[in-house]
Each structure stands twice: as structure tokens, then as C-alpha cells.
Structure 1
Amino acid sequence: MKHTLGILALAITVAACGQKTDSPDPVTKPADLAAEKASPVTGKHTLNQSDFEQFSDAMVAQLWRLFPTWAISQGYYDVDSELSIPDAAHREKVAGFARSYLTKIGGIDPSQLDASARSDQALIRNFLEKALWDIETFKSHEWDPSSYNVSHGFALLANTDYKPLDERMRTISQRMEKVPAYYQAAKSSITTPAKPLLELAIQQNEGALTVFGDTLKEQLEVSGLNEEEKAAFRDNLKKAKAAIEGYVGFLKEKKAALDANNGYRSFRIGEDFYEQKFKYDIQIGMSGRELYDRALTERTNIHDKMSQLADKLWGKYFPDQEPPADKLQKVGLLLEKLSENHATKENFKAEVEKQIPELEKFVTEKDLLTLDPEKPLIVRTTPPYMRGYAVASINAPGPYDKGANTYYNVMPIHEFPDDKAESFLREYNSYLMQILNIHEAIPGHYTQLIYANKSPSLIKSIFANGAMIEGWAVYTERMMLEAGYGDFEPELWLMYYKWNLRVITNTIIDYGIQVLGMTEEEAVKAMMELAFQQEAEARGKWRRATLSQVQLTSYFAGFADILALRDEMKEKLGDKFDLKAFHEQFLSYGNAPVPVIRKLMLDGQ
């Protein structure tokens, strides 16, 4: 799943961020406040709870000046006309911001804060350290050209009714004025890119042109802008599209040159970078290597469970055939048989939509969570500028605009050639489609992100931890089946374990590819032979693993942590444990890392 947390990654790499250079520093008062309350003995700032909230709110206000596209994705529109120029000067401004606030946050005495504020303090520190590390050490702005793409922010402004159309058109026009400079800075920032990321950048920026196409022109025509304003809009639109086309052309020329001498940077980041990124992104208290080893053990456990289920089902589907002695071969044959039950490429999206009300009904009847019927979920074909990364994803509104639409993006299967579509549909068969919808929609990502927007801690919502978010979605798959979804049908459980193997294998191949040098054929073999995936899915996952680092481990890391926490809470509460209460308390902490939530829950906060 790929969701709006990608905006955070883009923001950190200074790819889609912005500021108001002429605005006053909004942190002056809280900084002075902290200095005034510094202890003469310890030098620590003795901010009380209210003071800390002022401090963090002021930091966030400045953050949005630095990263307006991220701000827009959170529903904060005060910076909607801004688009920063992702050059060296702006990167230094971001680094200066991080250094300054690391000093300030480090000077605050955590003993003066309650548990929730202390966890906010830790999240702020992690975010700032990651920002500084990315700019000064990881330097992805030099080798990841896909991080430069203006389309998402413009799409949000065009498609969200946060203010009247005329005002939005004027805002978009102002923002488009900056697009040529944005892409010129992007060209100057890129040195030697990684090949998969270069190819993704070409694909997605070509898709970005659709954001500046007919729909935007139609909105302009029906707006109340005067003719002078419309002429200026059209001129800015023309220049913005030319800038995007120029960037695509620049990338294609670079690709041709690098293809000629194989001069690409490796997409593999190596052990040192991997472990540093893992520490910042996952935050589970173990190393990437330790999680990899744990995944290898869990894969064996799941194979044993699948073999036991296959023994029960074999006679039903192969009454006249003895099962193979090899347990993986036996499981694989049974999964292949079950995979014949699938949608068509023409009705796949419709089948996804049809299942959402069924999931809502089950969650409500089983009293697993309180769902909000007022929050719309719109299933749509993935927009072109977002394609090339994930089969399905969620785009959710941020905490500042909680009522905006949530979009469930589904890959355009109907556009696939028949052979590719058949492979895809066998992978996402009628059983796995149900697990996919639980994961992405209800009670997975869609539900969790609605709860996150209700969290009283803005910090815990915006500094989102991917392992918690992905872990929750994976956890709900298991939880729903445990609650009786599918009537404990062994076929569904067998397919669930296949899906769970994907989660485990994500960790294995991510570490294997990025650190151990796993080849494409080795990775595909691990996915097809040991995780029973179709070749199209395996090849797609290989591509995804070359486009990101660490993110694929977030599913298994978060899932394992949440299951362990549930067991701890059951042991602590005994007969008083209530599953719905556990879920709602867990989700009330926004997008905080699971270890942070664990401490708050076990301490009774």
C-alpha cells in the first residue's frame, strides 16, 4: 500500500516543498518562552504542558512554510499558493530549521511533560534528525529524480473544494508561475541517478501532464475569472507544462547517456545506509538485520500452517489424486486451483467497490470498531501521475480538512493485455481481493486514517510512522478472520496465509536486495516458489523494491508489534479486556510508532 505518507518522504527530500521567504519567524515567542524558563541548575527548559503545546504548534507552523505541498496534503491551505524551489539554498534552509529545533527540543526537560507530550517530543526529534540525515548524508535529492514532481499538490488544489473555484483558480495560477524554476532546480540537483528511479520519474512526470490537461482548462472556463486573469492562467499553464515536458526530455537524454556506458548509481543503498534509514523510518527497537532473521523464521512457521490446511482441503479439490510429498508443491497446486476463481479485468474495480458495504456491515455487527458513516470513500482508477508503484493505495485527507474525500486508488486492470491481466487476476483472486479490501479500506487504512485525524495530538498525526500504519492494516486482516469473517472457510484462511507470506517476504527481499545483493531472479524465485506469488506480481514487487528502501519492511514490523501489544493488554486486563476498546484506544494516538503507543496504553494514558 502506498498512501499519502509518501508526501512526507517527498517533503524530506525537498522535492515538493515550499515556503514564504518574507514571512516573520513564527517561533520567536515560543523560543523566547523556553529560554526564559531554562533551569539555572540543569540548563533544561522547564516548559509546562501548555507551553510545550505552544512550542510544538509554532514549530509546525514554520514547517508548513517550508513544505507547503505536505501542508496541503494535511488540509492546511494557508500556504496553498506557495511552491518552493528545491535548490541548495532551500535544502540549507531546511537543514538550518532541523538544527535549530534539535537544539530547542533537546533543551526541554521531559520530566516536566506528561507521557503523551514526551512521546511527541521524541517524534519531533526523530523527524528532525531524519531530515538532517537525508539532506547531509543520504542525499537522495542527487540520485532520485522521481522525488521531483509537482502534480500531487496541484491535483489536490484542483479537486478539493476547500474554497470557491475562482479563488482556487487564482491560487493555482500563482503556484504555476513557480513551476519552471522548480524543474530547473531539479535538473541542477540531480547528479547520477539510480536507473529504476529515473525510469519512474519519466513515467510519473509524463503522467503529471494529465493534471494540467483538459479538466483544469474546463474549470478555468466555467470560473468567474476575468479575461485578463484567464489569459494569465493560460500562459502560466503553458509554461508549467513546458517545464514538465522539459524535465522529461532532460531525463530521457540522461537515460540515453547513462545507458550507453552503464553509468548509473546503484539503487542498492548498502548496510550502513539501510540500518540508519530503518532506525528513522520503522522505530521498533530492533535492527533491520534482526527483523530480516525474524522474517525467515516466520516464513517457515507459515509454510507449516499452510501444509496442514492443504491436507484438509486436498480431497475436496483433487479427489482422484495423491498429494505430492513436498509440502510446498502440495500447497502451490491447491493455491493455483483456488486462484481460478477471480474477477474479469473489466469488472475488477466494480467488484472492489461492491465489497466495501459488506465489510462495513461485518465490522459493525461484530462490534469491532465504531465506523463513521459521514466520511466518504471513493473508489477510483489510480491517476496517471501516481501509477507505477502500487496495485492499490489510499489517499486520505489530513487533520486540517477532515471532511474531505478519501480515495481508494485501484490500478487500471482493464488496460492490461489479456495475458498480463490473467496473471494479475489470478494473484488478486476472489479470496485475496477480500483481504486486499480489508487492508486498504475497512477496517484497514481508510478506517485508521479517519481515527488518526481525530487524535488530539497533531504531532502524532502528521509525523506518521509507516510501520504503525501498515502494521495496523496487516493486523486487521488477521483480526477480521479471527472474528469470523468468511465463516472460518479454510480456503480463505489458506489464501490469507499466502497473503501473509507476502508481508513476510517483503521484509526478506527488501533487506536481501538492498543489503545482501539479491538478484532479480533470486528475488522472483523467493516470491514465486516460497511465497506462491504469480510472476507478474513478483516482477512488479522486484521493481517496487528497487524504487524504495525499508518501506517494504514496515508491514511485518508493525504487524508483529501490534499482535504482541494485544497479547500484553490481554494479560494485563484479563477478563476486562475488550477487543473494540483495545482497537479504539490504539487508534486514538494518531500515527505514532507502536512502541510509543504501547507505553501509553500500558501506562494507562
Structure 2
Amino acid sequence: MKKAVLASALSWALLAGCSQPAQTDQTIHQVNSVTNSSSVSDQTTLTAAQYSEQFIAELWQLYPEYALYVGYYDYDDQLPIANPQRRAQELAWLQQQQATISQLLETDLTDHQRTDLSLMANFVKRGIWQIESFKSWQWDPSEYNVAGGFAQIVNGNYKPEIERLRTILKRLEHVPAYYQAAQANVSKPAIPQTRLAIQQNQGVASVLGDELLAKAIASDMTEAEKIQFEQRLSDAQLAVATYIDFLTELLPEVEGADPVYRLGDTVYEQKFAFDIQSQLTAKQLYERALADQKMIHGKMAELTTELWSTYFADQAMPAEPMAAIGQMLERLSQVHAKPAEFKAAVEQQIPELIAFIKANDLMTLDDDKPLVIRHTPEYMRGYAVASIQAPGPYDAKANTYYNVMPLDGMPAEQAESFLREYNQYLMQVLNIHEAIPGHYTQLVYANKSPSLIKSIIRNGAMIEGWAVFAERMMLEAGYGDFEPELWLMYYKWNLRVVTNTILDYSIQVLGMEQEQAMDLMVNQAFQQQAEAAGKWRRATLSQVQLTSYYAGFSDILVLRDKAKQAWGEDYSIKRFNETFLSYGNAPVPVIAELMLK
């Protein structure tokens, strides 16, 4: 489960809750031009609408790497460098925006203008907090990775290849300075994040490698440009290798149980408030998750009792419900794809999901938006099993990539454990979540939102919450013909969502260790060993993000009940789905306020 796609103080991670390359320094001249000129913050007579336009224009100048991910390419040749000067200029801009937004919020506004300004206020306040307090630019070396931005340009079709190669040539010049700044920033790095940084930067070669050089040599660039391209590419590769060596020296000599970087109660609650934007605190959500865990166990026990005679006619059902549930799940998990066929099985199911949605009139789908299923690129591996990498509103017709972890080379025992987890039932739920009508469909709708602010400032809880809600909505509509086996597996999957919240809070605030975490996932959430081990690793690499699934899902369920009551006979699931998605990537409480008016 992740999104997609998948950073320094302010970056794609800030807006989408995903790990992406850092923002850095080549745009210092642009930052100065924004913060030293008659910028938005000095123009207190601007209307809210004018301010939103100016805010976005300055945002792309300051964060050209993020602009690439939303399809805005005016600054595609910029590779900013995360040095102290850059952070100071960034902080100055954020503080200017904070002052202006505060003034505008005191004026007469429409509901849409007020909610847009509220999103921008959270954005800039979080950015200031990231730089001054959270300081992950010091302790998380995985924030520094140039591959993502280069890959956007290499794989894009927004201008001819020869022009994109010349853009890459300009960006390559700054890669050595990028990694020099990264190395200067890193101080007492967290060990799990250091291992991830090494793994993912080793994957940079899949983007900045021989294939890219061959494209340049075969192109119509001049001979001088080709020579320069080869030299700059070589220098960039050396810079990446030097950074990897630097990080490797920081690791313990003997690999063992790596210490987790734990936020603690106060910082965790701060990050939760910024990232999730829920009406609940992190502790309140954790307590709700504990209650839902018991409820789901009860539903799974009922379904196991219903199915027992079908699968174990000659055996008495264990008296302990958890043991019976585990035995039933293990039996159902034995039917799965072969390792080499997993990606193909994912591809084959997508048309079935589309057909079901259309036949049941659950929502309108856009058939013109391409979905490309591929193995996860090397520079993105090591974090999630599957993810969606979607284009932004400026390049909405570009490909959306559904990244699936390859199983090639995985030890047989580990591959079998993985495939038992993503068996024939759970693979269907995974595809609903990641693709249709989950992340892929939601992000297509988001790109059409009339509020550009609500599309580009992405709330992770809304995005993940919708994908989880889509699973429940599809099964409630009859997908799978109410097959009890599928519903049992669905509850196992839904239990994972709840467990994610319990796990994340327990690790970051309560000090949970790996042995306790594995017991929670394997024995209480019925996860396979490989899945649980992977989730432990992921939980040590991120903070708060794992709560976004349950937080958003819970809020959407409450909103659906309120919409049914408010709309009466005019309620339909299609109306709810399409109205909800029309508000872009805004937090669910913001959408609820607008929908119910």
C-alpha cells in the first residue's frame, strides 16, 4: 500500500506523504528573486484568488523538483542543492506566506477560498516545523536521491527527446554539489534510514547509467554536447558512489538489530497533526484502532465458523477463535500466483474491476487515462510492495505507473511467504486499493478538481483513506458475489489497516521492539512472516504515514453516513463517490464541511 511514489524540508514528501528526492540549491537565484522582490506577502491588497495563483507560481520556482511530479516543467533543468543558504531562503519564503495567509483568513471569504487558505497555512507551518524542529534533513540520509527527478524527465513525453536530453545535461552538472551538500547535512543519521539510502542510491544507476548515455550518443546533440554529457554523467555516478561510501562508513561494523529512530509523544503528535489533519489526536486514533481490532476479530470468527465445514469437514474447529481463524486463513492462502506470474496476474484483473464498476454504476471512469503496470524501479525499492506513481494536474494525460515489487531472485521460501500473503483473494483487494477504483482513479479525479490548491497540496490520509474505503465499497456493492472466503480475507486486509496504526504509534511513542511488533502482526493480525518483516522495516523508516490509511478510512465512513442522512432519497453511492472525489486531495474534514453544505 503506498503511494506513490512515491526530500528535504519541503518536498514531494511534504505534500504527498511519500519519499522522494530532496530539494536543493541551484535555484537560489530564483529563491532570492521571490523573497527579495515585491512578493505575495508584501501585497496585502491581493484577493484570496489572486494570492492562490501567486502562491502556486512561486511554489514552482522554489521547488522545481516537486513541480516535475505534478507535470509543471518550466523549471525542469533545475536541481536545487540543500545547503544552509537554501534552507534560510526557503524559511524566509515560508514565513512570508504564513503572515499573508493569516491576514487573508481575516477577510470575507467563500468556503472554497477559506479551505484553500487553510491548506496553504498547514503547508507553510509544516514546512517551517520541518526545517527548524523536525530536521530530518540531518538524520535521514534517504532524503537525498537524484533518481526520481531524472526519471520523470527521461520517461516523460512533454517535449522532444533531444530537448529532454539537453535538460538532463544541465541538471547533471549539479549532481556532485547536490551530494556534497547532502554529505555535509547528514549528522548522526538513523541506521534504518541509512541502510535505505544506500540501497536506493545504488538504484540510481538504473536511471543514470549506460542506457541513458546510449540515448545521448545516438541523439542529434552536437559532438561537444555528447562529450560533455558523458563527462557529467561520469561525474554524477562518482558523486553517488562517494555518497554511498560515506554512508557505509557510518553503519555499525556488525549488522544486527538496528536502533529505531523514535519520535516520542510530543513530536509524534505534532507530525500527526500536520500530516493527517484529523479531528482526532494520534492517541485517540490509536485507542479507536484497539477497539476496531476486537470488532474485526469477531467478524473473522463468525466467517470462519461459517466456512469450517467446507474446508475441514473431518476436523473439529479449535475452541480458541484466533487459532481457528489462523488455520482457515492458512488454507485459503495456498491458492496464489507463481512468482514469475505475479505481475501478469495483476494486469489480468484490472479489466474485471473496470467492468464491475461500470455494470454497477458505482462511478464514472475515464477510459483515456493510461495505467502502466511495471516492476518497481530499483531506486524506489525497499519500502512498499506496491505503489502508484501518478502525474499531476499540469500533465494529466501522462502515464500513471502501478509499481509492483518483482519476485525475481527472491529466495523460494520468502517468495512463497509473500505469495501466500498476496493470494488470489488479497491480490484482488490490493488491485482495488492501488488501482481501480483506489489510488489510480482517485488521482485522475483529483487532477480535474477546480481547485488547483486542493490537487497539489496532497493530504495522505484522504488519499490512503479513499483507497481503503474503495475496498469496502466494492465488496458491499457485490464484488466477489459476497463470497465468504473473500470477505474473510478482506477483514484480514482491513485488520492490517488497523494494525498499521497500532504498530506505528506503539513503535514511535510506546517503545515497541521488533519481537513485540512481529507478535502483533503475525499472531494478532495473521500476517505472513515475510509481510510482517517487511512492515517492521517500513515502520522503522517512516513515522505517522502508516496511520493515514485508518485515519482517512474512518473519517470517510462517518462522512458517508452523514451524507446518507443529509441527502435522503437523493443519496446514491455514485453521487457520494463522485462528489467526494471532486474536491481533489483535501483532508477529509475539509471535504466533509464542503460536501454537507
- Which TM-score band (shorter chain)? over 0.9
1:581, distance to aligned residue in structure 2 (A): 1.1
Question: Does 2:566 correspond to 1:566?
Answer: no
CA distance in 2: counterparts of 1:127 and 1:317, whole angstroms: 52
Partner residue of 2:223? Answer: 227
2:379 alignment partner, SS class: helix
Partner residue of 2:232? Answer: 236
CA distance in 1: counterparts of 2:112 and 2:36, whole angstroms: 22
Q: Is the 8 A contact 2:469 2:553 kept in 1?
A: yes
Q: Is the 8 A contact 2:303 2:484 kept in 1?
A: yes
Partner residue of 1:456? Answer: 450
CA distance in 2: counterparts of 1:249 and 1:335, whole angstroms: 44
Partner residue of 1:166? Answer: 162
Partner residue of 1:21? Answer: 28
CA distance in 1: counterparts of 2:346 and 2:216, whole angstroms: 34
Question: Does 2:478 correspond to 1:484?
Answer: yes
Describe the shift of the 1:27–1:459 C-alpha distance in structure 2 as closer, same or farther (beyond 3 A): farther
Matches within 5 A, 1:88-237: 88-237=84-233
CA distance in 2: counterparts of 1:393 and 1:426, whole angstroms: 19
Describe the shift of the 1:492–1:526 C-alpha distance in structure 2 as closer, same or farther (beyond 3 A): same
1:10, distance to aligned residue in structure 2 (A): 4.1
Question: Does 2:51 correspond to 1:55?
Answer: yes
One-letter amino acid of the counterpart of residue 221, structure 1: I
Describe the shift of the 1:261–1:299 C-alpha distance in structure 2 as closer, same or farther (beyond 3 A): closer
Q: 2:524 aligns with which of 513, 525, 530?
A: 530
1:256, distance to aligned residue in structure 2 (A): 4.2
CA distance in 1: counterparts of 2:164 and 2:255, whole angstroms: 45
Partner residue of 2:341? Answer: 347
Describe the shift of the 1:94–1:59 C-alpha distance in structure 2 as closer, same or farther (beyond 3 A): same
Describe the shift of the 1:533–1:407 C-alpha distance in structure 2 as closer, same or farther (beyond 3 A): same
1:4, distance to aligned residue in structure 2 (A): 3.8
Identify which range, 188-197 or 54-63, moves more after superposition: 54-63
1:576, distance to aligned residue in structure 2 (A): 1.2
Question: Does 2:416 correspond to 1:407?
Answer: no
Q: Is the 8 A contact 2:40 2:55 kept in 1?
A: no
Describe the shift of the 1:349–1:560 C-alpha distance in structure 2 as closer, same or farther (beyond 3 A): same
Question: Does 2:83 correspond to 1:73?
Answer: no
One-letter amino acid of the counterpart of residue 317, structure 2: P
One-letter amino acid of the counterpart of residue 330, structure 1: A
Describe the shift of the 1:6–1:261 C-alpha distance in structure 2 as closer, same or farther (beyond 3 A): closer
CA distance in 2: counterparts of 1:66 and 1:32, whole angstroms: 15
CA distance in 2: counterparts of 1:450 and 1:110, whole angstroms: 34
CA distance in 1: counterparts of 2:298 and 2:558, whole angstroms: 21
2:104 alignment partner, SS class: coil
1:493, distance to aligned residue in structure 2 (A): 0.2
CA distance in 2: counterparts of 1:152 and 1:282, whole angstroms: 25
Q: Is the 8 A contact 1:193 1:265 kept in 2?
A: no
Question: Does 2:569 correspond to 1:575?
Answer: yes
1:417, distance to aligned residue in structure 2 (A): 1.2
1:414, distance to aligned residue in structure 2 (A): 2.7
Q: Is the 8 A contact 1:148 1:186 kept in 2?
A: yes
CA distance in 1: counterparts of 2:460 and 2:177, whole angstroms: 32
Identify which range, 215-224 or 579-588, moves more after superposition: 215-224
Q: Is the 8 A contact 1:349 1:410 kept in 2?
A: yes
Matches within 5 A, 1:22-37: 22-23=29-30, 24-25=33-34, 31=40, 34-35=43-44, 37=45
Identify which range, 60-69 or 18-27, moves more after superposition: 18-27
1:89, distance to aligned residue in structure 2 (A): 1.1
CA distance in 2: counterparts of 1:17 and 1:116, whole angstroms: 33
| Structure 1: segments with no counterpart, 5+ residues | 38-46
Aligned residues: 588
1:255, distance to aligned residue in structure 2 (A): 1.3
CA distance in 2: counterparts of 1:261 and 1:372, whole angstroms: 49
Partner residue of 1:42? Answer: none
CA distance in 1: counterparts of 2:259 and 2:450, whole angstroms: 43
Q: Is the 8 A contact 1:17 1:66 kept in 2?
A: no
Q: Is the 8 A contact 1:394 1:407 kept in 2?
A: yes
One-letter amino acid of the counterpart of residue 153, structure 2: L
Q: Percent identity?
A: 54
1:113, distance to aligned residue in structure 2 (A): 1.4
CA distance in 2: counterparts of 1:4 and 1:111, whole angstroms: 37
Partner residue of 1:250? Answer: 246
One-letter amino acid of the counterpart of residue 576, structure 2: F
Identify which range, 501-510 or 17-26, moves more after superposition: 17-26
Partner residue of 1:3? Answer: 3
Per-residue Cα deviation, 1:367-413 (whole angstroms, up to 9, x for no partner): 11111111000000000000000000000001110011000000011
Q: Is the 8 A contact 2:173 2:232 kept in 1?
A: yes
Q: Is the 8 A contact 1:198 1:251 kept in 2?
A: yes
1:254, distance to aligned residue in structure 2 (A): 1.4
1:393 alignment partner, SS class: strand
CA distance in 2: counterparts of 1:63 and 1:27, whole angstroms: 15
Q: CA RMSD in A?
A: 1.8
Q: Please give the TM-score of this superposition, normalised by the length of structure 1.
A: 0.94
1:408 alignment partner, SS class: strand
One-letter amino acid of the counterpart of residue 251, structure 1: L
Partner residue of 1:85? Answer: 81
1:27, distance to aligned residue in structure 2 (A): 9.5
Q: Is the 8 A contact 2:463 2:585 kept in 1?
A: yes
| Structure 2: segments with no counterpart, 5+ residues | none
CA distance in 2: counterparts of 1:474 and 1:344, whole angstroms: 26
Q: Is the 8 A contact 1:143 1:194 kept in 2?
A: yes
Per-residue Cα deviation, 1:237-295 (whole angstroms, up to 9, x for no partner): 000010000100110111147x6999x87511111110000000000111111000000
One-letter amino acid of the counterpart of residue 154, structure 2: A
Identify which range, 297-306 or 55-64, moves more after superposition: 55-64
One-letter amino acid of the counterpart of residue 332, structure 2: L
Describe the shift of the 1:598–1:243 C-alpha distance in structure 2 as closer, same or farther (beyond 3 A): same
CA distance in 2: counterparts of 1:381 and 1:165, whole angstroms: 23
Partner residue of 2:374? Answer: 380
Q: Is the 8 A contact 1:444 1:472 kept in 2?
A: yes
Q: 1:496 aligns with which of 490, 495, 499?
A: 490
Q: Is the 8 A contact 1:30 1:54 kept in 2?
A: no
Q: 1:595 aligns with which of 563, 569, 589?
A: 589
Question: Does 2:594 correspond to 1:585?
Answer: no
One-letter amino acid of the counterpart of residue 16, structure 1: Q
Question: Does 2:328 correspond to 1:321?
Answer: no
Q: 2:329 aligns with which of 331, 335, 338?
A: 335
Q: 1:391 aligns with which of 372, 385, 388?
A: 385
CA distance in 1: counterparts of 2:320 and 2:262, whole angstroms: 35
CA distance in 2: counterparts of 1:113 and 1:223, whole angstroms: 53
CA distance in 2: counterparts of 1:538 and 1:231, whole angstroms: 49
Per-residue Cα deviation, 1:83-123 (whole angstroms, up to 9, x for no partner): 11111111111111111110111011455211011000000
Q: Is the 8 A contact 1:589 1:597 kept in 2?
A: yes
Question: Does 2:503 correspond to 1:509?
Answer: yes
Partner residue of 2:276? Answer: 282
CA distance in 2: counterparts of 1:384 and 1:579, whole angstroms: 39
CA distance in 2: counterparts of 1:393 and 1:32, whole angstroms: 37
Describe the shift of the 1:484–1:198 C-alpha distance in structure 2 as closer, same or farther (beyond 3 A): same
CA distance in 2: counterparts of 1:6 and 1:87, whole angstroms: 24
Per-residue Cα deviation, 1:57-97 (whole angstroms, up to 9, x for no partner): 21122121221111101101011000111111111111111
Q: Please give the TM-score of this superposition, normalised by the length of structure 2.
A: 0.96
CA distance in 2: counterparts of 1:5 and 1:357, whole angstroms: 23
Identify which range, 363-372 or 430-439, moves more after superposition: 363-372
One-letter amino acid of the counterpart of residue 450, structure 1: V
Matches within 5 A, 1:262-301: 266-301=260-295
Describe the shift of the 1:443–1:159 C-alpha distance in structure 2 as closer, same or farther (beyond 3 A): same
Describe the shift of the 1:476–1:105 C-alpha distance in structure 2 as closer, same or farther (beyond 3 A): same
CA distance in 1: counterparts of 2:526 and 2:485, whole angstroms: 15
CA distance in 2: counterparts of 1:501 and 1:11, whole angstroms: 27
1:195, distance to aligned residue in structure 2 (A): 0.7
Q: Is the 8 A contact 1:569 1:577 kept in 2?
A: yes
Partner residue of 2:414? Answer: 420
